[in-house]
Amino acid sequence: MTETKEDHRQFKTEEDFDKKFFKDIERRSNIWQCIQCGTCTASCESGRWTALKTRMILRKVVLGDLSVLEDPDIWLCTTCYQCYERCPRDVRPTDVIMELRNYATKRGNISPNHRAVVGYFKKFGHAVPINDEIRKRRVELGLEELPPTAFKFKEEGDDKDLIKFEEHLFDLPPLKEEKKKEEEKK
Amino acid sequence: MPNRYPAIEKSTRFVMKKLGYEILEMERASCCPAPGVFRSFNKVDWMVAGARNLCIAEKLDADILTVCNGCFGTLQEINKHLKENEEHRDIVNEKLKLLGDYEFKGTINVRHVAEVLGYEVGPWGLEDIITRKIAARAAVHYGCHFLKPTRLREIESSEGPTIVEELIEVLGVESVRFKEQLTCCGAGGGVKAYDGKASDTIFEEKMKNINDVQPDFILDICPFCHLEYETAQDQLNKNKGCNYDYPVIHLSQLVAYCMGMDREFVGLQYQLMGKEYNFGVEEAKKEEEAA
């Protein structure tokens, strides 16, 4: 928001810290209005059972504590929007967590399972690709064996859409561990 | 939905046709893409891929009908956002050129089948068309992204929705209230893929609450919740010694059956859970005779 407020923050890691990105979070999520009341944590369905503490995450962002990007807990949000709905200050915690995940992904903090889902999207155009059993069921039900999506066109020899997905969308950085190994080799 | 639950697709087509809607095929469409995972990785690319799907529908000059909360969440949100935000629309359109001949114009709307049935057709409209009723008690699961965030969806309150309840009442189905009915199924936001155990724990509590009220089936409006309810019941039975066997039914399937679609097309034979369930047809017949 205002420039003077920015001065209060203590950034713990300055390296590859994208101020613009945090500004973006502020602009989209009203995060400066957070009064740390804890309604988000209390409403959190995931936090009831896991270590996810939404209020803490918001606090860390406000303080510019970048360890939050390494925090595995930001990946435990089910995006149920309960905190978003109930926040008395109109902060949008779900949006904050989404932005943080984007930023964490840029740093290579992305789980292998999630990486696989992106792979499916690039290869098939679906996060959930079809299998033989479902093909059979579709025919039994009197539907086309394949829905008319990009994947069907690929099957018919026209894979230009999927090649473009592969080239232009969701370009993920290498895994963190891989990064470390590369550095060790050097 | 077409790649996991074709029966839901079949039912939806049947229902919409019966109601006089024309369904157009979105050729070359892709995954919406899912709001939990893909938005987490790269929000811009998520908007671009979603906008591409919107463009396909714009070319057809038709609104998009979604049968899934995830698709609805993604497409409705992107559509609304790009209509309002010129800066992002320019960024997205620039990147869309890389994917082919696409340009987002903002000429269509994105709808959810529950909203179309609940508000546009309405219980009153459905009452005239149905050919049979079901006597059953259902645990209704709304899921998250159909109603929330209410600021964007503008359908109804997320804390006490009644849209599905009012609709199924006409079909003879009673919605049974259970504890923490409106919470998440536990699968969303990429959590099921990221940490299956955490997801299962959330679901376990959910299932306990449902079991307390002993419904005939679980009614959902989202294939992803559908998947969670089917497979996670199975997991709980195998790993935690539970003994759950509740059929899971999508709103489209229920409505299609009541509109007279043959049972083999409703797809109950593909159920992973509650295979015995057949909509309690016998009881309904008896009731008719008594009346």
How confident is the model over B190-207, as pLDDT tens digits?
898 899 899 999 999 999
Q: Is the dihedral of CA A85, A91, A95, A100 positive or negative?
A: negative
Number of domains in chain A: 2
| pLDDT, tens digit (0-9, with 9 covering 90-100), for A88-146 | 999 999 999 998 998 889 888 889 999 999 999 999 999 999 999 999 999 999 999 99
The length of chain B in residues reads 291
Note the pLDDT of residue A15.
46
Domain co-membership, A85 together with A125: no
Domain co-membership, B136 together with B104: no
Domain co-membership, B39 together with B108: yes
Note the pLDDT of residue B201.
92
B130 falls within a domain: yes
Assign residue B98 the CATH number of its domain.
Answer: 1.20.1050.140
B159 falls within a domain: yes
CA–CA gap between residue B270 and residue B6 (Å, rounded): 10
Q: Which domain holds residue A42?
A: 3-106
Reported ipTM: the value is 0.89
Burial A2-35, CB ≥16 within 10 A → b, else e: eeeeeeeeeeeeeeeeeeeebeebbeebbbeebe
Domain co-membership, A13 together with A100: yes
pLDDT tier for residue B25 given thresholds of 50, 70 and 90: very high
Give the angle B177-B178-B180 at the CA atoms, nearest 5°. Answer: 120
Say if the Cβ atoms of B41 and A137 lie within 8 Å.
no
Which of A106, A124, A155 represents a domain boundary (last residue)? A106
Domain co-membership, B96 together with B189: no
Q: B103 or B2: whose pLDDT is higher?
A: B103
Q: What is the mean pLDDT of residues A19-25?
A: 68
Domain co-membership, B266 together with B140: yes
Domain co-membership, A11 together with A102: yes
Least Cα distance to A38 among A53, A60, A50, A51 occurs for: A53
Q: Please, which residues 105-144 of chain A have a Cβ atom closer than 8 Å to chain B?
A: 105, 110-111, 113-114, 116-118, 121, 125-131, 134, 137-138, 141-143
Note the pLDDT of residue B290.
58
Among A15-29, B84-98, B223-237, whose mean pLDDT is lowest? A15-29
pLDDT tier for residue B62 given thresholds of 50, 70 and 90: very high
Tell me the chain A residues in contact with residue B40 when contact means C-beta distances shorter than 8 Å.
Answer: 75, 98, 101-102, 105, 114
Least Cα distance to A51 among A77, A69, A87, A70 occurs for: A77
Domain co-membership, A153 together with A83: no
Tell me the chain B residues in contact with residue A155 when contact means C-beta distances shorter than 8 Å.
Answer: none
Tell me the chain A residues in contact with residue B34 when contact means C-beta distances shorter than 8 Å.
Answer: 117, 127
Domain co-membership, A155 together with A169: yes
B42 falls within a domain: yes
- Say which DSSP state B63 is in: P
- Contact between B161 and B238 under an 8 Å Cβ cutoff? The reply is no
What is the percent of chain B where pLDDT is above 70? 96
Say if the Cβ atoms of A126 and B184 lie within 8 Å.
no
A103 interfaces chain B, CB cutoff of 8 Å: no
- Contact between A97 and A74 under an 8 Å Cβ cutoff? The reply is yes
A41 interfaces chain B, CB cutoff of 8 Å: no
Note the pLDDT of residue B139.
96
Say if the Cβ atoms of B41 and A78 lie within 8 Å.
no
Say if the Cβ atoms of B205 and A147 lie within 8 Å.
no
- Contact between A120 and A127 under an 8 Å Cβ cutoff? The reply is yes
CA–CA gap between residue A108 and residue A118 (Å, rounded): 14
A29 interfaces chain B, CB cutoff of 8 Å: no
Say if the Cβ atoms of A81 and B43 lie within 8 Å.
no
pLDDT tier for residue B1 given thresholds of 50, 70 and 90: confident
Domain co-membership, A54 together with A40: yes
Domain co-membership, A116 together with A98: no
Side chain identity, residue B68: C
Say if the Cβ atoms of B40 and A81 lie within 8 Å.
no
| pLDDT, tens digit (0-9, with 9 covering 90-100), for B247-264 | 999 999 999 999 999 888
Q: C-alpha dihedral over B38, A62, B153, A37, to 10 degrees?
A: 130
- Of the CA atoms within 13 Å of residue B237, those in its CB half-sphere come to 13
Say if the Cβ atoms of B189 and A77 lie within 8 Å.
yes
**pLDDT(B282) > 80:** no
Note the pLDDT of residue A101.
92
Domain co-membership, B130 together with B58: no
B118 falls within a domain: no
Chain A / chain B CB contacts < 8 angstroms: 190
* Cβ neighbours, 10 Å, residue B245: 15
Say if the Cβ atoms of A79 and B35 lie within 8 Å.
yes
Say if the Cβ atoms of B28 and A150 lie within 8 Å.
yes
Which of A75, A91, A106 represents a domain boundary (last residue)? A106
Distance from the Cα of residue B278 to its chain's centroid: 21
Detail the DSSP E strand segments found in B184-227. 217-220
Domain co-membership, A117 together with A31: no
The token pair at B13 is 């087509």
Domain co-membership, B207 together with B84: no
Which of B112, B146, B167 represents a domain boundary (last residue)? B112
Domain co-membership, A129 together with A76: no
Give B275's strand partners. Answer: none
Domain co-membership, B48 together with B95: yes
Side chain identity, residue B95: K
Note the pLDDT of residue B2.
86
Note the pLDDT of residue A1.
43
Domain co-membership, B104 together with B130: no
Q: Which chain A residue lies closest to B34 (C-alpha atoms)?
A: A127
Q: Is the dihedral of CA B249, B21, B121, B75 positive or negative?
A: positive
B16 falls within a domain: yes
pLDDT tier for residue A27 given thresholds of 50, 70 and 90: confident
Domain co-membership, B50 together with B177: no
Q: What is the mean pLDDT of residues B38-43?
A: 91
DSSP 3-state assignment of B111?
Answer: strand
A176 interfaces chain B, CB cutoff of 8 Å: no
Note the pLDDT of residue A175.
72
B1 falls within a domain: no
Assign residue A101 the CATH number of its domain.
Answer: 1.10.1060.10
- Nearest Cβ partner of A49 from B45, B145, B198? B198
Domain co-membership, B150 together with B41: no
| pLDDT, tens digit (0-9, with 9 covering 90-100), for B118-154 | 999 999 999 989 999 999 999 999 999 999 999 999 9
- Contact between B191 and A77 under an 8 Å Cβ cutoff? The reply is yes
Which of B44, B78, B112 represents a domain boundary (last residue)? B112
Note the pLDDT of residue A178.
62
Say if the Cβ atoms of B149 and A147 lie within 8 Å.
no
Return mean pLDDT, chain A.
84
pLDDT tier for residue B285 given thresholds of 50, 70 and 90: low
CA–CA gap between residue B151 and residue B19 (Å, rounded): 30
**pLDDT(A10) > 90:** no
What is the percent of chain A where pLDDT is above 90? 53
Q: Which domain holds residue B268?
A: 123-290
Number of domains in chain B: 2
B264 falls within a domain: yes
B226 falls within a domain: yes
Q: Which chain B residue lies closest to A72 (C-alpha atoms)?
A: B194
Domain co-membership, A20 together with A100: yes
Q: What is the mean pLDDT of residues B99-105?
A: 94
A168 interfaces chain B, CB cutoff of 8 Å: yes
Note the pLDDT of residue A16.
44
Nearest CA distance, A58 vs chain B (angstrom): 17
Residue with token string 């969440």: B73
Domain co-membership, B41 together with B74: yes
Domain co-membership, A13 together with A97: yes
Return mean pLDDT, chain B.
92
CA–CA gap between residue B148 and residue B76 (Å, rounded): 11
Domain co-membership, B158 together with B80: no
Which of A86, A106, A126 represents a domain boundary (last residue)? A106
Q: Are β-strands B136-141 and B64-66 bridged in parallel, bridged antiparallel, or unpaired?
A: unpaired
**pLDDT(A176) > 80:** no
Note the pLDDT of residue A2.
44
The token pair at B187 is 């699968």
Domain co-membership, A159 together with A145: yes
Note the pLDDT of residue B212.
95
Q: A181 or B88: whose pLDDT is higher?
A: B88
Which of B112, B140, B158 represents a domain boundary (last residue)? B112
pTM of the model: 0.89
